[in-house]
């Protein structure tokens, strides 16, 4: 992996499937839009939490889960628009420093949910650099195909974080794979998967 900017792009759906292929205890929180479709397409799971409409909320939610469950690996899967809206979260992640938290940014340099307009990353905004400057020293851009497997191991093992990994993906539209939008159901099944009573 490298912390330099790269022009290598990956297929978003394939990347997410590879990151989750050998999943064990991982809790995955996805931001609204394509990150949720990609997570669901990789296989709906009781430890998936799809954050449908709170743009900018996926990283703080994943941080809270990581702090509450320090023995369980937690990953936030977000788009670049979501990460741009939640940039202040990088400072809080650095301050709290949860070893079990991974933030995976699927960066297609577009605002996919509002028409595909170019995002700030298309003009050179470096999300890994911003996270690093906030104090998340393990912030990088995934540059090579083999790095995907290394990242998959890290996010599933936990204990090596926090980590921010930017993956440049192509901007091709993928079919929408829609999981449940029932917030109570999603909350209760995650609680049950973690061994807590339903509320």
- Residue 162: asked if its preceding bond is cis (omega within 30°), the reply is yes
Provide the CATH topology of domain 12-193.
Rossmann fold (3.40.50)
The half-sphere exposure of 132 on its side-chain side, counting CA atoms within 13 A, is 15
Q: Work out the average pLDDT over 186-197.
A: 92
Contact call for residues 146 and 132 (beta carbons, < 8 A): no
Contact call for residues 50 and 180 (beta carbons, < 8 A): yes
Output the average pLDDT for the chain: 89
Angle at 50 between CA 125 and CA 37, to 5 degrees: 70
Confidence tier at 50 by pLDDT (50, 70, 90): very high
Q: Work out the average pLDDT over 45-74.
A: 94
Percent of the chain with pLDDT over 90: 66
Q: Work out the average pLDDT over 30-44.
A: 93
pLDDT at 65: 97
Distance separating alpha carbons of residues 37 and 43, to the nearest angstrom? 10
pLDDT at 55: 84
Burial environment of residue 176 by CB neighbours within 10 A (0 to 12, 13 to 18, 19 or more): exposed
Burial environment of residue 117 by CB neighbours within 10 A (0 to 12, 13 to 18, 19 or more): exposed
Distance separating alpha carbons of residues 30 and 23, to the nearest angstrom? 15
pTM, 2 dp: 0.91
Please check the confidence at residue 185 and state whether its pLDDT lies above 50. Answer: yes
**Residue of 29 and 120 predicted with greater confidence:** 29
pLDDT at 119: 79
Each domain of the chain, given as residue ranges in start order, spans: 12-193
Q: Work out the average pLDDT over 67-73.
A: 96
Query: pLDDT digits over 82-140, tens only?
Result: 999 999 999 999 999 999 999 999 998 776 666 556 678 778 889 999 999 999 999 99
pLDDT at 79: 92
């Amino acid at each position: 992996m490298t912390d330099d900017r790269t022009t290598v792009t990956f297929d978003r759906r394939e990347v997410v499937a590879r990151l989750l292929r050998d999943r064990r205890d991982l809790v995955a929180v996805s931001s609204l839009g394509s990150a949720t479709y990609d997570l669901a397409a990789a296989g709906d799971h009781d430890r998936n939490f799809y954050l449908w409409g709170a743009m900018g909320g996926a990283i703080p939610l994943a941080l809270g889960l990581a702090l509450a469950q320090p023995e369980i690996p937690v990953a936030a899967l977000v788009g670049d628009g979501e990460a741009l809206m939640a940039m202040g979260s990088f400072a809080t992640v650095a301050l709290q420093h949860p070893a079990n938290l991974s933030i995976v940014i699927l960066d297609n340099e577009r605002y996919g949910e509002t028409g595909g307009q170019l995002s700030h990353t298309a003009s050179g905004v470096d999300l890994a650099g911003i996270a690093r400057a906030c104090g998340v020293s393990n912030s990088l851009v995934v540059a090579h195909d083999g790095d995907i497997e290394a990242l998959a191991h890290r996010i599933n093992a936990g204990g090596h974080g926090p980590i921010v990994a930017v993956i440049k993906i192509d901007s091709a539209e993928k079919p929408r794979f829609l999981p449940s939008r029932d917030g109570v159901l999603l909350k209760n099944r995650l609680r049950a998967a973690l061994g807590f009573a339903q509320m």
